[in-house]
Structure 1
Amino acid sequence: MSASVVKVGLLGVGTVGGGVLKTIRSQQQKLSDRLGRRVEVVKALVRNAEKQRSVPIENNLITTRFEEVLASDVDIVVEVMGGVEPTYGYVRALIEKGCHIVTANKELLAKHGTELVRLANRHGVQLAYEASVAGGIPILGVLRQFLRTNDIVSVSGILNGTTNYILTRMEQEKLPYAEVLKQAQELGYAEADPASDVEGWDALYKTYILAQLVFGESLPLHAAERQGIEKLHLGQIGLARELGYRIKLLAKASKAGGGLQLSVRPTLLPLDHPLAQVQDAYNAVQVSGNIVGDLLFMGKGAGELPTASAVVEDLAYLLTQRFTPQPVWQESEPAGNREAGEKRCFCYLESKALRGTPDQVTHFLDRAGVLVEKQRIQYDWASVLRIGMIASGFAEEHKKALHRDFGIRAEVFPVL
């Protein structure tokens, strides 16, 4: 690494890559003063060299061939191209060459992080990934500070701005899911293919990374609970609200009794809960420590500049630190079986061809041992039954019996 210049390579000059370029240029003097060296982007890998970009970049810096980046004299490579292939192969090759890596790629880390951390340690290079979780919220750095004195019991939060925007608009404007999703795509909050966001994958990748940092291990992705928002509808959101709750896509990593739990699920939060107040495309992370108690961090979770800010902070941080090996990432299998019945849940029951009466339904649940805390019943002129209830002891067997005996479809959501 030159004594006067830090040479940076970019993999990807899309939204985030363009933001990284803008940030380095606009903060050039501050970075130079802080680091004692000038930071320069000297090579940028793109898919299409002719594409018009929102941020100007010199032609001699652009290449469509990864081999040119690998052969250049870059000190640090910022990976913001996303995806797993061919990104994984590129990052491996750069680490083996001895390049430090800064990445915002949560999918890559969740699927190959255990290997990449070991590889970086073996080659004596830094693998920095603050921007991979919650964009502009510096949650990973904060957690590293807390881990020096606190045992963290759980980390939970709203880790996907797209789904939070959709749920906010559905509740406030009473618009159906498909209509709000289209709005989100037009505004640039949602991709043309929104599956990673709305099916909960994006939030799960981030939760996996948080668990690795906090607990030194995580569950394999296939072993975590994952449920997205694509099947939520206004009936569920409305009844939850009448019962005093708001539905959020809640990500959670916790460790109790020796067992690690990882989940991303639509969850009911009391209206006065801090996370229930997080609206639109904002993210929030709540940390529970044995000494510090509960802390909440909130900010913009995505977008050009919030993510670019985290990338450039990572870049500056690793340039001021001596190399120390990272704790090795590990995966463990889930401990024990989940309980047959939800401890406390929101049960949403719906039937368009009810066999029986609402009273018979509630009587059946009472006799079956389901303890109902409170409920709202809607039974309109078209004989459509909707019941929302906060209950405990509701199990899969009850769901099957309701469908068989009453023609009722039941869905269950956790309650925080």
Structure 2
Amino acid sequence: MSAEVVRVGLLGLGTVGGGVIKTIRSQQEKLASRLGKRIEIVKALVRDSEKERAVHVDPALLTTDFEDVLRSDVDIVVEVMGGVEPTYDYVRALIEKGCHVVTANKELLAKKGTELVDLANQHQVHLAYEASVAGGIPILSVLRQFLRTNDIQGVRGILNGTTNFILTKMEAEQLSYQEVLKQAQELGYAEADPRSDVEGFDAMYKLYILTQLVYGESLPLADVVRKGIADLSAGHIRIASELGYRIKLIAQANQAEKGIRLSVEPTMLPLSHPLAQIHDAFNAVQLSGNIVGDLLFTGRGAGELPTASAVVEDLAYLLTQPFTPHPTWKEKTADKAGVSVDSEEHVLCYLEGSCHTATPDRVLHFLQQAGVSVHKLKVQFDLGGVLRAGLIVTGISEEHESLLKKDFGLEVRCFPILESA
């Protein structure tokens, strides 16, 4: 007796969409054996049906009209086209028709996830999104199991492979940000317009999804602390290294008595920290549980096959599981008084300016008089009379930073330090 056929539609046939087709084809027999069902791609929505593609697809399966997908009697649709519009309207229409949806679209989920989760529950369909966070690392599946016994005290990680590649290269080869960005674009790690990656938006969307799963609520995106890497210099990285730290773009969520704090920003890690060992385009997620302690998950976070793997695993999962309601997503506005950074936390301050107007002694005297504690200092001079200094401090405020700029002519950049492993 032949296996039941599951009709699958694709929204998008770019890098990830092509990887999904390759994965289904290469694993077809295994999937049919394990699931008792054969997966058949019956329609693929594309922008240009004449475009040359890396994977061969029967032209009859391609369409530029979303209505063709709706009319195709698909059981499941895989959404890998990205963006919010018109993607949201398409996904909404599919759910309302009773179609299961698998998506890799972190921006869509971060901006419209609360509505889509409610809609999926209303129509009793699966909304699966493992591929939206950390590519091939099955972190969302792990969390669903893990949360049954452990309370998660914190989640942090490197959630963007492009920025991790750039920071790795800047440190290893002592190159400028612009030089490495160009390399990343040539290698296909960075888009022609890299802003979503390098300004921290991509990591912020993924952090939002993780936080919904871990805490059952998240902050609105506007309340997330977000800083990118575009203004990082070789000087920042060199001073950090000389003080025993490495800069990584760290996304983290912590829950305190007064609420959740979410941040995505360049962060100083001791060289011994597990996340400091994650190089190139790899991603990593670290969880702190009240029973199990710290766990680290790492793997390739982007690219054709890692993301496609997560998509097809989601497909396989929902073909074997009955529908159960999704936990509702909620947003809670931050309590501004409760989620500010503790003034006693260590930060690394990088100072740069003319040594004719600022000397280390004068700067240290000013900070001491202002009540700022300096725990460690590293000073560099160059032949052009430029002072560069890195200070590990506690108690520094925005007012202090303004005075350093106004009175000493120093540019100031402060980085949080993640000491605990």
Q: Which TM-score tier does this pair reach, normalised by the shorter chain?
A: over 0.9
Match of residue 9 from structure 2? 9
Aligned-residue offset at 1:171: 0.2
Paired residues of 1:13 and 1:45 also in contact (CA < 8 A): yes
Distance in 1 between the 2:63 and 2:91 partners?
17
Encode CA deviations 1:278-311: one digit per residue, 9 max, x unaligned: 0000000000000110000000000000000000
Match of residue 323 from structure 2? 323
Q: 1:196 corresponds to which letter in structure 2?
A: S
Distance in 2 between the 1:191 and 1:208 partners?
22
Distance in 2 between the 1:51 and 1:328 partners?
40
Paired residues of 2:269 and 2:276 also in contact (CA < 8 A): yes
Paired residues of 1:340 and 1:395 also in contact (CA < 8 A): no
What secondary structure, in the 3-state scheme, does the structure 2 residue paired with 1:385 have? strand
Q: Which runs of 5+ in 1 are unaligned?
A: none
Match of residue 351 from structure 1? 353
Q: 1:386 corresponds to which letter in structure 2?
A: R
Match of residue 212 from structure 2? 212
Moved more, 373-382 or 274-283: 373-382
The TM-score with structure 1 as length reference comes to 0.98
What secondary structure, in the 3-state scheme, does the structure 2 residue paired with 1:279 have? coil
Moved more, 106-115 or 375-384: 375-384
Encode CA deviations 1:356-391: one digit per residue, 9 max, x unaligned: 422111111111111111110112232111110111
Paired residues of 1:137 and 1:297 also in contact (CA < 8 A): yes
Distance in 1 between the 2:294 and 2:262 partners?
19
Distance in 1 between the 2:356 and 2:107 partners?
44
Match of residue 113 from structure 1? 113
What secondary structure, in the 3-state scheme, does the structure 2 residue paired with 1:134 have? coil
Match of residue 182 from structure 2? 182
- Assess, with a 3 A threshold, how the Cα gap between structure 1 residues 100 and 351 changes in structure 2: closer, same or farther: same
Aligned-residue offset at 1:331: 0.2
Aligned-residue offset at 1:355: 1.8
Encode CA deviations 1:138-170: one digit per residue, 9 max, x unaligned: 000001111000000111000000000000000
Encode CA deviations 1:182-227: one digit per residue, 9 max, x unaligned: 0000000000000000000000000000000000000000000000
Q: Does 1:203 align with 2:200?
A: no
Q: 1:143 corresponds to which letter in structure 2?
A: L
What secondary structure, in the 3-state scheme, does the structure 2 residue paired with 1:394 have? coil
Match of residue 138 from structure 1? 138
Distance in 1 between the 2:193 and 2:382 partners?
36
What secondary structure, in the 3-state scheme, does the structure 2 residue paired with 1:167 have? helix
Map residues 274-353 of structure 1 onto 2, 5 A cutoff: 274-337=274-337, 338-339=340-341, 341=343, 343-352=345-354
Q: Does 1:42 align with 2:42?
A: yes
Distance in 1 between the 2:137 and 2:110 partners?
19
Runs of 4+ in structure 1 off by over 2 angstroms are 339-342
Paired residues of 1:342 and 1:395 also in contact (CA < 8 A): no
Encode CA deviations 1:77-114: one digit per residue, 9 max, x unaligned: 00000011110100000000000000000000000000
Distance in 2 between the 1:350 and 1:342 partners?
24
Aligned length: 415
Moved more, 321-330 or 249-258: 249-258
Aligned-residue offset at 1:402: 0.8
- Assess, with a 3 A threshold, how the Cα gap between structure 1 residues 273 and 339 changes in structure 2: closer, same or farther: closer
Encode CA deviations 1:26-55: one digit per residue, 9 max, x unaligned: 000011011101110000000000001000
Aligned-residue offset at 1:342: 6.2
Distance in 2 between the 1:363 and 1:225 partners?
31
Match of residue 224 from structure 1? 224
Aligned-residue offset at 1:336: 3.6
Distance in 2 between the 1:340 and 1:243 partners?
22
Match of residue 408 from structure 1? 410
- Assess, with a 3 A threshold, how the Cα gap between structure 1 residues 156 and 130 changes in structure 2: closer, same or farther: same
Percent identical among aligned pairs is: 69
Paired residues of 1:354 and 1:407 also in contact (CA < 8 A): no
- Assess, with a 3 A threshold, how the Cα gap between structure 1 residues 319 and 199 changes in structure 2: closer, same or farther: same
Aligned-residue offset at 1:231: 0.3
Q: 1:394 corresponds to which letter in structure 2?
A: I
Q: Which runs of 5+ in 2 are unaligned?
A: none
What secondary structure, in the 3-state scheme, does the structure 2 residue paired with 1:136 have? coil
Moved more, 252-261 or 104-113: 252-261
Distance in 1 between the 2:355 and 2:389 partners?
14
Aligned-residue offset at 1:339: 4.5
Match of residue 388 from structure 2? 386
Distance in 1 between the 2:360 and 2:381 partners?
8
Distance in 2 between the 1:354 and 1:73 partners?
74
Aligned-residue offset at 1:341: 3.7
Q: 1:178 corresponds to which letter in structure 2?
A: Q
Distance in 1 between the 2:358 and 2:74 partners?
72
Paired residues of 2:104 and 2:131 also in contact (CA < 8 A): yes
Distance in 1 between the 2:359 and 2:376 partners?
19
Distance in 1 between the 2:239 and 2:141 partners?
39
The TM-score with structure 2 as length reference comes to 0.97
Aligned-residue offset at 1:340: 7.5
Q: 1:397 corresponds to which letter in structure 2?
A: E
Q: 1:289 corresponds to which letter in structure 2?
A: G
What is the alpha-carbon root mean square deviation over aligned residues? 1.2
